[in-house]
Amino acid sequence: MKKTVTALLTAAATLLCGAAFAQETVKIGVINAYSGQFADPGAQLDAGITLYMQQHGDTVAGKKIEIIRKDVGGIAPDVAKRLAEELIVRDKVDILAGALLTPNALAMGDVSAEAEKFMVVMNATTPVIITKSPYMIRTSATASQINGNFGTWIANQGVKQVYTMVTDYGPGIGSGTAFEEAFKAAGGEIVGQDRTPVVNPDFSPFVQRVAEADPEALYVWVPGGTQPPALAKALAERGITPENTKIYGQGELTDDAALEALGETALGIITAYHYNVHRDDAMNDEFVEAYRAANDGRDPDIYSIGAYDGMAAIYKALEATGGDASGEALINAAKGMTWDSPRGPIGIDAETGDVVQTIWIREVQMVDGKPANVIIDQVENAK
Amino acid sequence: MSTLIAVLFDGFSYGMLLFLLSVGLSVTLGLMNFTNLAHGAFAMLGGYVTYALVESAGWPFLATLPLAFLATALIAAVFEAVLFRRIYKSGELNQVLLTIGVVFASYAVAAFFFGTVHHSVDLPDYLKGFVEIGDLKLPAYRIFLVIVALAVTAGLILFLEFTRFGAMVRAAVDNDKVAGGLGLNINAIFALTFALGSGLAGLGGALAIDILFIDPNFGFHILVPVLIVVSIGGLGSIWGSFLAAAALGIFDVAGKFLFPDFGPFLIYLFMVVILFFRPNGFFARR
């Protein structure tokens, strides 16, 4: 009899401990591109997650944070959906995160809504993604946030006419439309619109059209990589420089690699972006230094900062709920939250769950003999 | 008027770049009947040779160009002797599979040594910016590109049509058994021809950096336009490749200038129309 009681007690204790132990872990399922064409931005995103956990430990509100990484391999919404379902059903994750690419983010959003799981979009910038799940927040930026505010800013500088040239696919058209609408609403006029092919090594015909139209200002949107320097070079070679035509674009246009390729021809180009690696700020300096130390000297970029702040949002929301990782509790805690990030002040919109932040307006100027993006203005609390 | 000339010049110079990149393939495909999809990988090799010499060793850009040609030719000769020679007679499918495999491998090797990001080189000042002729602004680098392409064309035609080695190449291609029986060393001739064609690709790749930039995808990137040039120009015809590349460049740039909405499709339409009326291209050798 006594033996039986002891055995029962032991069993009960074990079960209790087991249950309590399970409660101690919060699992985050990260769906990201670890291979294929987008492996490079995927690696930068992952490094942001890793660095945040390195700096802030893996325990929040008494819970241990466990990351489960899944490789989606590229633009593959069906794979992203399957991975999200597997993560929730089999791995029992509490939170979905990552979402490097828009189509994958949309697919993950459906799963998040259905399973009522908190989801953090760490990169994809298409505005509509956020409406896919009531349990979703975003910590990167939206195409309209950057370019819409930029359009208003440019109109406020007294610029009346702009010629726009954007890449002919979702992100380019979305950014261009947001820019045009904001610019027109602020009293500006669009004097020409061109769409360049996604795969287009030679910009000369499009630049020649701009040269012919001779507009007051030119707004361009091209994806990062080889296109920004190619476009800026094509402009400079045909005599379109900020001296005679103002040139505006999103931050990728003058990222470090592009500036290196462009040299002095980039001087005077004005861009809008939500993160500046070289912004002089104690928190940012510390972040950049730690990031370089952890990644063979490589600089963080928008992917890294999106993931870094995504983890910050998860940690802060968990602290607020005291460790309750249900979708309902986390989204209520996350909405309306604000904090300081290496990129500047950041917050989550209380209504939409989308990111609210400062958009930096930068001009390429000579700094210590090298062209650099110098902040000349900022749009605070940009939505 | 000046805009029209500027557009035509942009098109022509872009065509000249395509010509430099594809003429080597026209030679190997047309003269040796070897389907070499790895041509773009050799172009990339030349590009990286120039990039490495300019950025790491501090060489002037112009001095690296002969080396881009020679290094690519040499490495191509090794590939020819070790790999490609074995499949000259084994059918097009095998050739396509092996050479496309080489392109994939070249991606991995380039990414390992130079990273996945794109690179460009610092040009000397006289090749930067534009040259002003009246109210016409022409990019300095593209003028240089046109001059190099014209020189290569002239040199190649003279070499293949009027030298003893050129005659040996043509003899070996027309009937390798008879040529061999007459005492020509067929293997050596093919190896040299292949090296020459690939070396030209390397030169093209080095010259392309300033316009297309260099990254590990380069070998895939240029494959389509290069194949279009070769098929429109006619296999083995240098003159045909020249005309096809010039026409393609002008058609592409002018098309995008005049009809920006359809621009990217126009070169394919152009190709379809040409091949419909001349299935073997402008000047087919065989």
Residue ranges per structural domain of chain B: 2-277
A8-141+283-352: CATH class: alpha beta
Q: How far is B119 from chain A (nearest CA, A)?
A: 8
Q: Judge if pTM exceeds 0.80.
A: no
Instruction: Give the C-alpha separation, B263 to B82, whole Å.
Output: 42
Cβ neighbour number for residue A184 with a 10 Å cutoff? 14
Count contacts between A and B (CB, < 8 Å).
Answer: 82
CB-based contact, A233 to chain B, within 8 Å? yes
Contact yes or no for A230 and B211 at CB 8 A:
yes
Instruction: Give the C-alpha separation, A83 to A77, whole Å.
Output: 10
- pLDDT exceeds 80 at position A6: no
Closest CA in chain A for residue B8: A205
Q: Which of B253, B246, B218, B237 is nearest to B23 (CA)?
A: B237
CB-based contact, A310 to chain B, within 8 Å? no
The single-letter DSSP state of residue A343 is T
Tokens 């674009």 correspond to: A249
Contact yes or no for A195 and B254 at CB 8 A:
no
Contact yes or no for B10 and A208 at CB 8 A:
yes
Decide: A108 and A319 in contact? Cβ < 8 Å: no
**Options 3.40.50.2300, 3.90.850.10, 1.10.540.10, 3.20.20.70; which CATH number does A144-273+360-382 get?**
3.40.50.2300
Q: Tell me the chain A residues in contact with residue B221 when contact means C-beta distances shorter than 8 Å.
A: 201
* Chain segment A38-56, per-residue pLDDT in tens: 888 888 999 999 999 999 9
Q: How far is A236 from chain B (nearest CA, A)?
A: 6
Interface predicted TM-score (ipTM) of this complex, two decimals? 0.72
CATH fold of B2-277: ABC transporter involved in vitamin B12 uptake, BtuC (1.10.3470)
Closest CA in chain A for residue B250: A205
Instruction: Give the C-alpha separation, A77 to A262, whole Å.
Output: 36
Q: How far is A323 from chain B (nearest CA, A)?
A: 40
DSSP string, A265-282: GGTT-EEEES--TT---H
DSSP string, A211-248: HHH--SEEEEE--SSSHHHHHHHHHHHTT--TTTSEEE
Q: Tell me the chain B residues in contact with residue A204 when contact means C-beta distances shorter than 8 Å.
A: 7, 10-11, 14, 253
CB-based contact, A39 to chain B, within 8 Å? yes
Rg, Å, chain B Cα set: 19
pLDDT 10s digit of each residue in chain B, 286 long? 778 888 899 899 999 999 999 988 887 887 777 889 999 999 999 999 999 999 888 899 999 999 999 999 999 999 999 998 888 888 889 999 999 999 999 988 998 888 777 788 888 888 887 888 877 888 889 999 999 999 998 998 898 889 998 888 888 877 778 888 888 888 888 888 899 999 999 999 999 998 888 888 899 888 988 999 988 888 877 888 899 999 999 988 888 888 877 767 888 888 888 888 888 888 765 4
Closest CA in chain B for residue A204: B10
CB-based contact, A40 to chain B, within 8 Å? yes
Q: Supply φ then ψ for residue A190, to 5 degrees.
A: -95, 115
* Burial of A214 from C-beta contacts in 10 A (0-12 / 13-18 / 19+): exposed
B5, B257, B262, B268, best to mutate vs chain A, most A CBs in 10 Å? B257
Q: Which of A178, A372, A158 is nearest to A256 (CA)?
A: A372
Contact yes or no for A233 and B210 at CB 8 A:
yes
What average pLDDT does the segment A270-285 reach? 92
Instruction: Give the C-alpha separation, A161 to A175, whole Å.
Output: 18
Contact yes or no for B211 and A194 at CB 8 A:
no
* Portion 197-216 of A in contact with B at CB < 8 A: 197, 200-202, 204-206, 208-209, 211-212
Instruction: Give the C-alpha separation, A331 to A344, whole Å.
Output: 22
What average pLDDT does the segment A96-124 reach? 94
Cβ neighbour number for residue B78 with a 10 Å cutoff? 11
CB-based contact, A181 to chain B, within 8 Å? no
Decide: B214 and B118 in contact? Cβ < 8 Å: yes
Question: Where in chain A is CATH 3.40.50.2300?
Answer: 8-141+283-352, 144-273+360-382
